[in-house]
Amino acid sequence: MAPSYVKCVHLIVEVELQVKDHVATVISTLNYQNKEDKPIEALFVFPLPGDAAVCHFSADIGQTHIVAELKEKQQAREEYDDALSSGQQAFLLEESEQSPDIFSLSVGSLPPGESASIRLQYVIELAVEADGALRFCLPAVLNPRYQPQGSEGPGVPVSSVPASEIPYSLSFSARVSSPRPVSKVESSCSLEPLQYLNTDHTEAAVKLAAGHKFDRDVELLIYYKDAHQPSAVVEAGQDSAKPGTLMGDPVVMVSLYPEFPESVMSKRTSCGEFVFLLDRSGSMRCSTSNWNQQETCISSARDTLLLLLKSLPMGCYFNIYGFGSRYDQIFPKSVEYNEKSMEEALKKVKVMQADLGGTEILQPLQHIYSQPCISNQPRQLFVFTDGEVGNTKEVLDLVRKNAGSHRCFSFGIGEGASSALINGLAQEGRGHAQFITGSDRMQAKVMQSLKFALQPVVKDISVTWDLPKRVSATVLSPPITTIFQGQRSLIYAQLCGKVLDKKDRQTRNHLKVCQLETQSRFIEARKKSEGNQHKDMKRKVVKLSVQSGVSSHHTAFIAVNKDNGDAVQGPLVRRNVPTPGEVGEGKDCICKGFTFFFFCYDPLNLQAPLIRGGSAVPEQPRRDPLLQLVSLQKASGCWLLDAALASVLGKTSEEVEKSKTAEVWATILALIWLHGFKMEAKDEWELLAVKAASWVQAQNAPCVKDCVAAANALLCCRVKKKALKL
């Protein structure tokens, strides 16, 4: 049976983004039109950021404006069904039972030719990228999520078809304001020129260029000047709310994004247990982006593991897991990192394929956590996945229970990766999340996270509030226990007591804040509503959700048009409105047994891999000179002087042969080549270069200065010895 999407509904999407420092408010307007000759119920399942706080939902039908109410989820569903059965028009917006980054919108009893305009508003904190940019992502792609057998709840009905088959159009505009000047705004999509709205460049506006096809996520990278300076933003309480309550009192948001001295950051730990958990499900065979069809997610992951293994410090411990419908591991338990174990691991990494079936991450995580921790070797878990997981909440509950024994760094690969899963893993595991989309190189982002894992941590943090008399601050956020270089922390606090008028100069100067209409309270209300799912907490969660106007796992928005006159006549036909998904190569969908309907144009994933001699033919490795050079490095950090090294450097064996100490000379040659020809990829090789420089220093060779000069001459470079950290 084919899915009943037809071209029954025309959908125009208008998105207005308002960025206030580190918080974004997103206002989406979805305009539906029923083009059929019968009344329909349109079901639209779509992605939202997993930590978004949905705080407004309304609908316009003709001249009638309806503002939705938040109610307990089952009550809202019953009211929606009752309205439809009586011929009334109704709208229901609710979060998925399994994952907070999937929402379903039901548009009921839409008569033939009728139009409806839906307005949805949510607030979200913006993540900080490795280069200091704030990242906003408007998700367009919702890949079908794999629901393991026996997991809680039914799967989410996701309909996805090629963008060319969907009558979608998108209008997108953004306005940015901050206490700091806005230096630039970049995007993976074409933008119109950035417009500054004032002379000090603290306000700016930008629009998506005309002609954009809503077939991939829209990503914005926002750069501020003086990004590492702490800032604070205050929001007044609501006049209609009672003083002393969360909604009635002012709240303040403090942003901390410190930059530590190089003398501190150059000290890196030499211990740790590094566990790499790699998604090897069928969907990892898809290409990493629309622009590079040759590079697949699994091939990029293999290259990344090569860099990771070469960058680990001697004496640490490591292991590599692959997961799909089943999981495997390279070693029975984590082993000490040395030349032998590294080479054994690399041999297995080279032949890794996306051949393990569905996306079941829960069992390998349970196995990893069952392994005893190694004394004086803090566990660091790196998770690589395209995020097509249906049992997200079960996974995050498990990570939360084990957060005291490890840190978790997560990487969402490709369009449509679940933000709830990727961000949730990092938040619950006290680590860092990265998304690899478009033309991003996985290697650079992963190596940045390895730097976080190896860098010293700032502990014993305390916050002191300097407030006017009779004013106190109640911190709403969890306490900050650690701060890392390159990671941003936000602190929310409720200001209690006699707060002076927000226009009063003394208060404004004393708090040193910029009065912006942020909605940080919504984010905190959302956070308070998540987590504890016990029955005795449900009532409190529902009460807080309704009071704050922020949806939660236990509530849903319901809007009923009670003023539409005559009841809608005729049988109601249900239509699934597909997302403009990029469901192409390698998605896990049909082979994973979904029980709902969706289109999946997936010729590559439905075909078995070419078999010769009883095994799948591995993909041909790409001849990337950087990766070739990295592959030749030893675990200790040095290179050998041989023909393979000469070939990567573009020289003959005779040209590189010198009477100097062979391994020292070879290692300095490699370092000069990296600094001279691959500075644009420094984030990828910086750690292994530090290890190489440390090895050279440990040799106490008297010829280092001469080797640097000779290597520069041979390779036609001008790299100074100081730059090599020798």
Confidence of residue 45 (pLDDT cuts 50, 70, 90): confident
Q: Is the pLDDT of residue 352 over 90?
A: yes
What are the counts of helices (DSSP H) followed by strands (DSSP E) for the chain?
18, 32
Mean pLDDT of the chain: 79
Asked whether residue 290 falls in the same domain as residue 420, the answer is yes
Q: What is the mean pLDDT of residues 533-543?
A: 74
Listed range (67-71, 74-78, 151-155, 475-479) with the worst mean pLDDT: 151-155
Residue among 174, 101, 104, 168 nearest 136 (CA): 174
Confidence of residue 667 (pLDDT cuts 50, 70, 90): very high
- Taking the alpha carbons at both ends of the chain, their separation in whole angstroms is 68
Asked whether residue 417 falls in the same domain as residue 310, the answer is yes
Q: In what order do the strands lie in the sheet with 102-110?
A: 69-72, 555-561, 89-95, 102-110, 40-47, 573-577
Asked whether residue 295 falls in the same domain as residue 421, the answer is yes
Question: Residue 304: which CATH number?
Answer: 3.40.50.410
Q: In this predicted structure, what is the pLDDT of residue 290?
A: 53
Q: Is the pLDDT of residue 341 over 80?
A: yes
Range with top average pLDDT, 208-222, 238-252, 335-349, 652-666:
335-349
Asked whether residue 332 falls in the same domain as residue 437, the answer is yes
Query: How many structural domains does the chain have?
Result: 3
Q: Evaluate whether residue 615 is within a structural domain.
A: no
706: which DSSP letter? H
d(CA 709, CA 690): 19
Q: Is the pLDDT of residue 511 over 70?
A: no
Residues 687-717 pLDDT 10s? 999 999 999 999 998 889 999 999 999 999 9
Q: What is the mean pLDDT of residues 278-298?
A: 77
d(CA 368, CA 381): 9
Q: What is the mean pLDDT of residues 403-421?
A: 85
d(CA 48, CA 248): 28
Asked whether residue 357 falls in the same domain as residue 246, the answer is no
Residues 207-221 pLDDT 10s? 998 877 776 778 899
Q: What is the mean pLDDT of residues 8-26?
A: 83
Query: Percent of the chain at pLDDT above 90?
Result: 35
Q: Is the pLDDT of residue 513 over 50?
A: no
Range of the domain at 505: 231-263+462-521
DSSP string, 385-410: E---BS-HHHHHHHHHHTGGGEEEEE
Confidence of residue 529 (pLDDT cuts 50, 70, 90): low
Residue among 102, 60, 232, 95 nearest 550 (CA): 95
Asked whether residue 386 falls in the same domain as residue 419, the answer is yes
Asked whether residue 446 falls in the same domain as residue 467, the answer is no
Residues 131-151 pLDDT 10s? 889 999 887 755 545 455 555
Q: In this predicted structure, what is the pLDDT of residue 577?
A: 62
Q: In this predicted structure, what is the pLDDT of residue 382?
A: 96
Q: What is the mean pLDDT of residues 628-653?
A: 94
Q: Evaluate whether residue 95 is within a structural domain.
A: no
For 629, residues 6+ apart whose C-beta sits below 8 A from its C-beta are 639, 645, 648, 649, 670, 673, 674
Asked whether residue 239 falls in the same domain as residue 335, the answer is no
Last residue of a domain, one of 521, 548, 565: 521
Q: Does the predicted model carry a pTM greater than 0.85? A: no
Q: In this predicted structure, what is the pLDDT of residue 566?
A: 62
d(CA 653, CA 161): 55
Q: In this predicted structure, what is the pLDDT of residue 591?
A: 28
Q: Evaluate whether residue 101 is within a structural domain.
A: no
Q: In this predicted structure, what is the pLDDT of residue 478?
A: 76
Residue whose token pair is 């959700």: 545
Q: Evaluate whether residue 273 is within a structural domain.
A: yes
Q: Is the pLDDT of residue 473 over 80?
A: yes
d(CA 128, CA 139): 17
Reported in sequence order, the residue ranges of 21-114 that DSSP labels E, i.e. its strands, are 23-34, 40-47, 53-61, 64-67, 69-72, 89-95, 102-110
Asked whether residue 249 falls in the same domain as residue 274, the answer is no
Q: Evaluate whether residue 554 is within a structural domain.
A: no
d(CA 661, CA 666): 9
Confidence of residue 506 (pLDDT cuts 50, 70, 90): very low
Parallel, antiparallel, or unpaired for β 9-20 and 23-34? antiparallel
Q: Is 593 left (phi over 0), alpha (psi -120 to 50) or beta?
A: left
Q: In this predicted structure, what is the pLDDT of residue 158?
A: 45
Q: In this predicted structure, what is the pLDDT of residue 62?
A: 78
| Side-chain half-sphere exposure of 523, counting CA atoms within 13 A | 28
Confidence of residue 370 (pLDDT cuts 50, 70, 90): very high
Query: Percent of the chain at pLDDT above 70?
Result: 78
Range with top average pLDDT, 96-110, 172-186, 579-593:
172-186
Q: What is the mean pLDDT of residues 413-426?
A: 84
What phi and psi, each to the nearest 5 degrees, are found at residue 494? Answer: -95, 125
Q: What is the mean pLDDT of residues 153-174?
A: 59
d(CA 5, CA 682): 48
Listed range (345-359, 544-558, 572-586, 690-704) with the worst mean pLDDT: 572-586
Q: Evaluate whether residue 205 is within a structural domain.
A: no
Asked whether residue 384 falls in the same domain as residue 469, the answer is no
Asked whether residue 424 falls in the same domain as residue 331, the answer is yes
Q: What is the mean pLDDT of residues 56-74?
A: 90
Last residue of a domain, one of 425, 454, 483: 454
Q: In this predicted structure, what is the pLDDT of residue 70?
A: 93
Residue among 357, 188, 382 nearest 285 (CA): 357
Listed range (20-29, 104-113, 519-528, 617-626) with the worst mean pLDDT: 519-528
DSSP string, 487-546: --EEEEEEEEE-PPPTT-HHHHHHHT-EE----HHHHHHHHHHSS---HHHHHHHHHHHH
Asked whether residue 274 falls in the same domain as residue 402, the answer is yes
Confidence of residue 533 (pLDDT cuts 50, 70, 90): low
Confidence of residue 288 (pLDDT cuts 50, 70, 90): low
Q: Is the pLDDT of residue 262 over 60?
A: yes
d(CA 639, CA 662): 9
**Alpha helix locations (H) across 636-715?**
643-649, 653-656, 662-677, 682-699, 704-715
d(CA 222, CA 229): 16
Q: In this predicted structure, what is the pLDDT of residue 168?
A: 63
Q: In this predicted structure, what is the pLDDT of residue 30?
A: 85
Confidence of residue 604 (pLDDT cuts 50, 70, 90): very low
